[in-house]
């Protein structure tokens, strides 16, 4: 394919890894500094698709991506999963004993808390832009006192060595990525639907809205809420459902939703990765 | 009162400000580096109560605090709100023109995005532990090229001056704080209930659980979900309800919930701040 795919981060980031899994033949990629830039550049036709992490099985949702999904008029056209593994990486010649400073994304620290506790008094943890930028920085500094928490892909790209492998607390750590495009794109293999809506402040309004789907046997795969900017303590509800826009009962449910909420948006209809398992390696 | 109150952060943090509002006569306070330490120290009887931010009207929930509420056997005994205002603070003699580096908590940057965009190319934004530590650091460095995004209380405590006031995007920015204790504490003024539970993977199970309350006219004030550690793509649901453990219909609802979930926890029963408005200044 000749599509241009955008992601946030630098080579070696989890997003770039997910990109090459989902688009194994991607001819051109563009990377951006912020999640929102991926949405902006897609909206402005500088890229054809974007790939973004949206939730992690341990740390939960990625706020910014949910918020952008609501505010940009773009669509989810697919999803993919990546298993997250963290490793302590240093420059050649460094060792666990030489390390004084550890760089990573705050999530890298959070997901490696048990391992890091043993070194609590000796190591300074320095929050950095992301795991890949941390690895690149440690490589550039070429200082045996500095280490990064990052992936094996970063070790390869930035010429680092593993000081301690698999330092993450939870072996079962998956990040779900979404692929976004400018058009609603789905075929007859689509079996997952993502929606966002807000609700009036009324007893049971969320319950009633979920009932629209439950009563039709449509399974709820995910539910998240995010505050509405400028309207304190009002929320957008993001729901994922098992079904396709081609299903009669889904279309009926969406019609019924129209009477409950003014601002229902279909965010996408696409193929769910079965059982939320990671892609085969 | 002679109770010892714990918070996360340093003097000048929003938590410390909320503490002095909620406990205007607090005789002793202890501050900790991590949210979880407040839970630990309360559990270990080193403090009598803790105060923690749990959600913000613009940025949403504070993950760590939700997760600790589930895993520690402690209770919410009260809540309070604080209006968040961000200001750009520098050392005496600094100006908007002299600034090269800005320190703040990532949320401080996120909540001041519009203002910061105008200086995008000139200022380096350096994520730091929190707003108050950023203010203290700028004060200690005494360098007119450094600024912090922090509160007016920080300006006073750390001897800084305001370079630009009210730089936050949303005028309506409130943080909700909870007060935690070791016992369930409520009197007849309690009108809010917080619960957490997980659900079996079954069509409509969340819908059914919310129905237990909706059918009894119990209003849902909040709903959040958080991943269950080590069980990918399963969630704890945190709900806030209007009601008290003294209400017959609430007790009936809790009994009914027992048949739907194995792990229902009452997190607290306490007085809701009316209409989620901030406390009077």
Dihedral sign computed on CA atoms, order B227, B230, B232, B237:
negative
Q: Are residues B69 and B101 in the same domain?
A: no
* pLDDT per position as a tens digit, A185-231: 999 999 999 999 998 777 788 999 999 999 999 999 889 999 998 88
Q: Which of A164, A185, A208 delimits the end of a domain?
A: A164
Task: Tell me if A64 is assigned to some domain.
Answer: yes
Judge whether A137 is closer than 8 Å to chain B, CB to CB: no
* Candidate list B109, B177, B213, B237, residue with the active-site label: B177
Task: Tell me if A27 is assigned to some domain.
Answer: yes
ipTM rounded to 2 decimals: 0.82
- pLDDT for B279 beyond 80: no
* pLDDT per position as a tens digit, B78-87: 999 999 999 9
Task: Tell me if A121 is assigned to some domain.
Answer: yes
Task: Tell me if A169 is assigned to some domain.
Answer: no
Task: Tell me if B281 is assigned to some domain.
Answer: no
Instruction: Retrieve residue A62's tokens.
Output: 């990625």
The secondary structure of residue A165, as a DSSP letter, is S
Q: Are residues B43 and B77 in the same domain?
A: yes
Q: Phi, psi (5° rounding) for residue A141?
A: -70, -30
Q: Are residues A76 and A91 in the same domain?
A: no
Task: Tell me if A281 is assigned to some domain.
Answer: no
CA distance A184 to A89: 41
Instruction: Write down the pLDDT at residue B78.
Output: 96
- pLDDT for A106 beyond 90: no
Q: Are residues A13 and A152 in the same domain?
A: no
The two beta strands, B4-8 and B49-56, are parallel
Task: Test B60 with A226 for CB contact under 8 angstroms.
Answer: yes
The pLDDT confidence band at residue A281, using thresholds 50, 70 and 90, is: very low
Nearest to B138 by CA among B90, B88, B104: B90
Judge whether A200 is closer than 8 Å to chain B, CB to CB: no
Residue A231, burial from CB neighbour count under 10 angstroms (0-12, 13-18, 19+): middle
The pLDDT confidence band at residue A1, using thresholds 50, 70 and 90, is: low
Q: Are residues B71 and B178 in the same domain?
A: yes
- pLDDT for A95 beyond 70: yes
CA distance A203 to B249: 15
Residue B48 Cα, gap to closest chain A Cα (Å): 26
Residue A1 Cα, gap to closest chain B Cα (Å): 32
Q: Region B206-214: what's the mean pLDDT?
A: 93
Q: Are residues B214 and B129 in the same domain?
A: no
How far lies A180's CA from each of A40, A58, A78, A82, A221, in Å?
11, 23, 7, 17, 19
User: What value, to the nearest 5°, has the Cα angle with vertex A98 and ends A94 and A104?
Assistant: 75
Instruction: Write down the pLDDT at residue A258.
Output: 92
The pLDDT confidence band at residue B274, using thresholds 50, 70 and 90, is: low
Name every chain B residue with its beta carbon within 8 A of the beta carbon of A231.
172
Q: Which of B112, B144, B164 delimits the end of a domain?
A: B164
pLDDT, greater one: B193 or B275: B193
- pLDDT for A38 beyond 90: yes
Task: Tell me if B169 is assigned to some domain.
Answer: no
The pLDDT confidence band at residue B204, using thresholds 50, 70 and 90, is: confident
Q: Are residues B225 and B268 in the same domain?
A: yes
CATH of the domain at A146: 3.40.190.10
Task: Tell me if B64 is assigned to some domain.
Answer: yes
Instruction: Write down the pLDDT at residue B171.
Output: 83
Left if phi > 0, otherwise alpha if psi is -120 to 50, otherwise beta: which for A60?
Answer: left
- In chain B, how many domains are there? 2
- pLDDT for B40 beyond 70: yes
Out of A170, A210, A232, name the one closest to residue B207 (CB). Answer: A210
Task: Test B57 with A227 for CB contact under 8 angstroms.
Answer: yes
Q: Are residues B74 and B117 in the same domain?
A: no
Q: Which of A132, A164, A196 delimits the end of a domain?
A: A164
Task: Test A58 with B229 for CB contact under 8 angstroms.
Answer: yes
For chain B, percent of residues with pLDDT exceeding 90: 79
Active site residue B32: no
Instruction: Retrieve residue B44's tokens.
Output: 């270990």
Active site residue B177: yes
Q: Are residues B156 and B64 in the same domain?
A: no
Q: Are residues B37 and B112 in the same domain?
A: no
Judge whether B71 is closer than 8 Å to chain A, CB to CB: no
For B253-257, which contacts have Cβ atoms below 8 Å and span 24 or more sequence positions?
A: B253/B212, B253/B213, B253/B216, B253/B218, B256/B212, B257/B195, B257/B197, B257/B209, B257/B212
Domain that holds residue B146: 87-164
Q: Are residues B159 and B119 in the same domain?
A: yes
Whole-prediction pTM: 0.85
The pLDDT confidence band at residue B1, using thresholds 50, 70 and 90, is: low
Q: Are residues A70 and A92 in the same domain?
A: no
Instruction: Write down the pLDDT at residue B276.
Output: 47
């Amino acid at each position: 394919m000749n599509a241009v795919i955008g992601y946030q981060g630098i080579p070696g980031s989890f997003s770039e890894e997910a990109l090459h899994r989902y688009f194994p033949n991607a001819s051109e990629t563009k990377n951006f500094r912020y999640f929102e830039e991926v949405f902006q550049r897609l909206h402005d036709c500088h890229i054809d698709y974007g790939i973004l992490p949206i939730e992690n099985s341990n740390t939960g949702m990625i706020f910014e991506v949910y918020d952008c999904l609501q505010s940009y008029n773009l669509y989810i056209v697919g999803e993919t999963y990546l298993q997250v593994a963290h490793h302590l990486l240093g420059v050649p010649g460094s060792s666990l004993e030489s390390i004084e400073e550890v760089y990573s994304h705050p999530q890298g620290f959070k997901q490696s808390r048990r391992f890091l506790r043993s070194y609590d008094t000796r190591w300074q943890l320095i929050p950095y832009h992301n795991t890949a930028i941390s690895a690149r920085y440690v490589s550039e500094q070429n200082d045996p006192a500095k280490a990064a928490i990052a992936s094996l892909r970063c070790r390869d790209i930035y010429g680092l060595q593993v000081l301690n492998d698999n330092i993450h607390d939870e072996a079962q750590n998956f990040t779900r990525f979404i692929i976004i495009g400018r058009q609603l794109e789905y075929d007859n293999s689509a079996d997952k639907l993502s929606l966002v809506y807000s609700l009036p402040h009324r007893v049971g309004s969320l319950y009633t809205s979920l009932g629209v789907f439950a009563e039709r046997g449509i399974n709820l795969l995910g539910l998240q809420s995010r505050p509405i900017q400028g309207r304190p303590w009002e929320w957008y509800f993001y729901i994922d459902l098992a079904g396709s826009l081609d299903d009669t009962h889904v279309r009926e449910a969406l019609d019924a939703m129209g009477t409950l909420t003014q601002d229902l948006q279909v965010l996408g209809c696409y193929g769910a990765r079965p059982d939320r398992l990671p892609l085969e390696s």
